[in-house]
Amino acid sequence: MFLLSKSRPTGSLSNAIQRKRDDFAAALFQAVELARRAAGAAPVSRLAEADRFTQANINTAVDLVARWAGTKDPAMLALFIGWVNLCANERLDKTGPADFSQAPLERTWQTWEDLIAADAGAELCCFHGSLRQATESLRQKTEKATRVLFIGDCLQCDILTSLYGPCLQAGISLVPKTLAHRVPASLRNEIRKLESQKFDVVFFSPFSHEFSSDYAHVIHPKNYLMSARAADAFLNAAIQDTEEALDLLANQFECPIYVHNTGGTQQHNSGFSGLGKLLLSARLRRHARERLNGALTELLAERNAATYEHLFVVDEEALARRIGVYQLGRIWFNSGTLHPTLLGNMLGREDYFRAIYIQAYLATRKVIVCDLDNTLWDGMIGEGAVSHFHERQEVLKGLQQKGLLLAINSKNDPRKVHWKGGTLQEEDFVTAQINWSPKTQNINRIRDELNLKVKDFMFLDDRPDEREQVNAAFPEIHVLDPMDALTWKLLDHWQRVLPNQVDEDRTKLYRERACREQFVTQLSQNRTDADDETTAFKALGLSVEIHEAERADLKRVVELINRTNQFNLCGSRTSFRELSEGLGQDRLIILADARDKFGDMGTVGVLVIERKVGGFEIPIFVLSCRVFGFRIEYTLLNTVKRMVDVGVTVRGLYRDTPHNEPCRKVYSEAGFRWDGKFWTGQTFKTMDDPVWLSVTTHIAPKPFWRGPGIEIRQTGCPAGGIL
């Protein structure tokens, strides 16, 4: 993080910029305006014709340049780059960010240099170099456009301005949307208007500075004599407003939502006035901090338990304990709407950046491929004693326990590799390629063994040449340098926000799958009779349990649907909110859980069936690749056939995708017929469940199957056709 200068701007260069502030602003506006037009904004020809907000922001950018010129503080240059990005992207409700072209920037900088040439003297050369550095930063090539919703007061401007620089350096372009309505009802209405929009991350700062008028009233120095009981009336109102806004956010957006607690920081100017302000309000700030943070912790825990873990705390309180509220709240620059504090600078460059980076690059990864020497331990194993990097291994262990797979890719003698004294152990890795082959070849082997795509991988290696070779061969793999401390801060943040995998050890599942496949292969090779497959599968002791999904299952079901490509009859993708609509009324979700002699495979199949006028539809039908070949898909369809009466139409939706070849014949083999649009069936013949499966069904009779619009033909079956 840049150190923030306490000095005031001095010198002829700074004074010259301030004297010609209007001319500087007009030139900068042209570059910003061209970037905005390229992103689809309505054209504005001159700064004088722009709205007052834009004019103020452009003037603030010039003030930042003047401050930099007077202090040579690199933080001011970084803030300028961030603020210019904010000017270009503010109020751009588009799918992509503003894109700066080099020529307009160069014209702007040349105009600036011409304006101050007579006054700058020897400083002009340094000024020229810094402006070219700004060009490189503003035009940084980005790989990911990340949509982020920011909710809060002016702190969000501080954060955004500090955030743009690190994101650009990481190849991330921000597409920000900001909400700053301080009236709670108005804020909720603005959140509702965003219902159709998707965001990658949401940040909500309900108490920072003066966003909550009730909280601000309690901690105002003039109210220092207020009793705790009187303060609680205001704080309870602040909690209620936060709860209502949080419920809207949690229901509308399924991305990670980060919510600030409060550290009791107050904006203030340096000196005795700022210190006095803090001293007067200290008692009530402490009381408010305890009351609000305790309530917020309970709120987040309750909402996560009711849905799934996607609400997280931005811990201002921990930052205040570490840095101190006086330092965090000090205003170190003031122009227009920008009056940043250390709190905003640190949150932007640390907490916010890490959260956005994870969503941009890591959230969809399934496998971490690790080097060993000088990556997980210090030194070369087999050439003397090594010292384990326990903190690194603890982070990876945490990720493995949250469902990530760890794999080894090391140029080494496998006989010399051991884990004595390590936090990680051999069984924590799903596979190991320890040999002298090129690491690109080993990645191919890991990909084939796990039956995953390399886009699901990330790679850690201390050697730049190895990282470069992997990056060149597999651009989809995200490569990180384990020698960079930021890498482990990012991975640590990732493992802290990943949900707990309480019922599924993926490393164990993959190991069991390998044993299962080896077992079946050996049995098949040792037998020559016609019942090879049946005999082998019977020996596995396969059992399947069919049951209805409950709300607590939905997050796991969504994940299985969204990560399944090969046996996914419609290439379906869904969301928690979408899947939960009509659950138990017009929609039933049938799950198949499987186990065998090697262990519990968990939920391996999902079939969604919906009531429609005149019959039923199956819009989603997926099966995990770990049970391919066991014909569990037909057991799921048999369940449906037994549930509905003869004569009731069931339509199976199907769509070809580049990956779903394994399931293209399932409906035809199950007795459905293609009518040009759907696979349909009315008079079904229930297939026998495979003889090697022990099937238990727990589907209770429901009015769902006898709803309006469905004519049930009377047969000898039980009502509703349910067994």
Q: Is residue 297 part of a domain?
A: yes
Of 212, 143, 159, the C-alpha closest to 182 is 212
Q: Please state, in angstroms and rounded to a whole number, the distance separating the CA atoms of residues 606 and 574.
A: 12
* Ranges of the chain whose pLDDT falls below 50: 1-9, 707-723
Shared-domain flag, residues 265 and 313: yes
User: Where is the domain boundary, 108, 139, 170?
Assistant: 139
* φ, ψ of residue 397 in degrees (nearest 5): -60, -40
Shared-domain flag, residues 358 and 487: no
Are 150 and 330 contacting, i.e. CB atoms less than 8 angstroms apart? no
What CATH code is carried by the domain that includes residue 415?
Answer: 3.40.50.1000
Shared-domain flag, residues 330 and 304: yes
* φ, ψ of residue 424 in degrees (nearest 5): -80, 150
Q: Is residue 516 part of a domain?
A: no
Q: Please state, in angstroms and rounded to a whole number, the distance separating the CA atoms of residues 325 and 334.
A: 19
Q: What 3-state class would DSSP assign to 412?
A: coil
Q: Is residue 511 part of a domain?
A: no
Are 430 and 340 contacting, i.e. CB atoms less than 8 angstroms apart? no
User: Where is the domain boundary, 320, 345, 363?
Assistant: 363
Beta bridge partners of 637: none
Q: Please state, in angstroms and rounded to a whole number, the distance separating the CA atoms of residues 686 and 678.
A: 19
Shared-domain flag, residues 636 and 714: yes
Shared-domain flag, residues 262 and 345: yes
What CATH code is carried by the domain that includes residue 258?
Answer: 3.40.50.1110
pLDDT at 24: 95
Query: Over the stretch 220-239, which tens digit does the pLDDT of each residue have?
Result: 999 999 999 999 999 999 99
Q: Name the strand (E) or helix (H) holding 661.
A: none
pLDDT at 91: 72
Q: Is residue 504 part of a domain?
A: no
Of 497, 623, 634, 524, the C-alpha closest to 569 is 623
The number of beta carbons lying within 10 Å of the beta carbon of residue 227 is 9
Q: Is residue 198 part of a domain?
A: yes
Beta bridge partners of 608: 589, 620
Shared-domain flag, residues 386 and 325: no
pLDDT at 609: 93
Shared-domain flag, residues 424 and 534: no
Q: Is residue 510 part of a domain?
A: no
Query: Over the stretch 378-396, which tens digit does the pLDDT of each residue have?
Result: 999 978 889 999 999 999 9
Beta bridge partners of 432: 408
Shared-domain flag, residues 91 and 122: yes
Count of alpha carbons within 13 angstroms of residue 117, beta-carbon side: 6
The number of beta carbons lying within 10 Å of the beta carbon of residue 700 is 7
Are 71 and 7 contacting, i.e. CB atoms less than 8 angstroms apart? yes
Shared-domain flag, residues 340 and 388: no
Q: Is residue 429 part of a domain?
A: yes
Are 8 and 68 contacting, i.e. CB atoms less than 8 angstroms apart? no
Shared-domain flag, residues 20 and 74: yes
pLDDT at 110: 94
User: Where is the domain boundary, 139, 174, 199?
Assistant: 139
Burial 409-445 (b: 16+ CB within 10 A, else e): bbbbeeeebebeebbbeeebbbbbbbbeeebeebbbe
* φ, ψ of residue 636 in degrees (nearest 5): -65, -45
What CATH code is carried by the domain that includes residue 550?
Answer: 3.40.630.30
pLDDT at 232: 97
Helix 532-540 vs helix 506-526: angle between axes, to the nearest 10 degrees?
Answer: 140
Name every residue whose Cβ is closer than 8 Å to that of residue 408 and which is 6 or more positions away in sequence. 369, 370, 372, 429, 431, 432, 433, 434
- Whole-prediction pTM value? 0.87
Shared-domain flag, residues 297 and 427: no
Expressed as residue numbers, the domain containing 444 is: 371-497
pLDDT at 362: 97
Q: Please state the domain count of the chain.
A: 4
What CATH code is carried by the domain that includes residue 115?
Answer: 1.10.490
pLDDT at 701: 62
Q: Is residue 79 part of a domain?
A: yes
Q: What 3-state class would DSSP assign to 295?
A: helix
Shared-domain flag, residues 568 and 536: yes
